Amino acid sequence: MEFLLTIDIGGTFIKLALISITGQLVEKEEVSTPQSIEEFSDVIDQYYKRMKKYSLIGISISSPGSVTDTGHVLGYSAVPFIHEHNVKHLLSKRYGLPVFMENDANCAALSELWKGAARECETFACIVCGTGVGGALVMNKKLVKGANLHGGEFGYSILASDTHENVYETWSEMGSSSALSRRLKHQPPYFEGWTGPRVFEQAGKHHVEARKSLDSFFSTLAIGIFNIQYIVDPEKILVGGGITRQPDFLEELEQRMDRLLEAKPIAKVRPSISLCHYLDEAQLVGTAYGWLKEYRKDDLRV
């Protein structure tokens, strides 16, 4: 059996995994994100040496930022060294293996296309709720990256404004997982210690402000999904991120969609919403799919 060494670069942790060409994750580990390219290289080198006993045919990387075909990462992220050095070129040169590298939200969408909730879809959107709101668009089973590699960057969408005060609020500012807890930083019992799960827990105990923040989160998410449906008209819209693990998440979201559609009866198409199948392994699985599509398309089994 042949395997890919897969890497998911995050702002807090880097995940490393071995994935077979059939999409099976064999083993995985997580380390704190290195602060320099030298530390990063050491981490990868140690993992590579341990995995040499397997038949490795390539390396695939999920990365923050706008990733070009040549491996340059544009824009800004919480991992400065990926913008300063070409990680794709570095690993290819060091190990003599073909390397694939793609934006992390795009990789999440690719995992759903390959083995997840969008296997039967030609066109779908994927929304990732985390520190911000990321996402990806897939049309005719291909990523839509856009002219500036910003296709699917839903978090930049302006969903509220006060033009008199020149205030414009983005989806990330209003409807991300971090916004959910940030609105409560002056509220007991957690103050600065609010987290997504705590908001859900306290809202269930009738904490008034927690309930308000949760209502704002779901209403913003419903509006964003509605807009995507009528701009792109995908078959399905997937929602991912750790927050979707909360019980009754999809039910709450569908209730907000009910209200929105009742307020806009002219809108006859109801978005088909599903939760992402993959959670913390999405980027690893998706980047493996991307590698196979680029280098071994004949072996790819969708």
User: With 60 as the cut, is the pLDDT of residue 225 above it?
Assistant: yes
User: With 70 as the cut, is the pLDDT of residue 52 above it?
Assistant: yes
Neighbour order of strands in the sheet with 236-240? 142-143, 133-139, 124-129, 236-240, 273-275
Per-residue confidence (pLDDT) for residue 3, from 0 to 100: 96
- The contacts of residue 111 (CB under 8 Å, 6+ apart) are 277, 278, 281, 282, 283, 284, 285, 286, 289
Per-residue confidence (pLDDT) for residue 106, from 0 to 100: 95
**Cα atoms in the Cβ-side hemisphere of radius 13 Å centred on 130:** 18
Residue 301 banded pLDDT, cuts 50, 70, 90: low
Percent of the chain with pLDDT over 70: 99
pLDDT average, residue stretch 222-250: 95
pLDDT in tens, 171-214: 999 999 999 999 999 999 999 999 999 999 999 999 999 999 99
Is 123 within 8 Å of 129 (Cβ atoms)?
no
pLDDT in tens, 281-293: 899 999 999 999 9
Residue 20 banded pLDDT, cuts 50, 70, 90: very high
Q: Are strands 273-275 and 236-240 parallel, antiparallel or unpaired?
A: parallel
pLDDT in tens, 125-175: 999 998 889 899 999 999 999 999 999 999 999 999 988 889 999 999 999
User: With 90 as the cut, is the pLDDT of residue 12 above it?
Assistant: no
Per-residue confidence (pLDDT) for residue 302, from 0 to 100: 47
Neighbours of 35 (CB within 10 A): 11
User: With 70 as the cut, is the pLDDT of residue 233 above it?
Assistant: yes
pLDDT in tens, 70-124: 999 998 888 999 999 999 999 999 999 999 999 999 999 999 999 999 999 999 9
248 burial (CB, 10 Å; 0-12 / 13-18 / 19+) is exposed
Q: How far, in Å, CA of 276 to CA of 272, rounded?
A: 13
Q: How far, in Å, CA of 60 to CA of 290, rounded?
A: 8
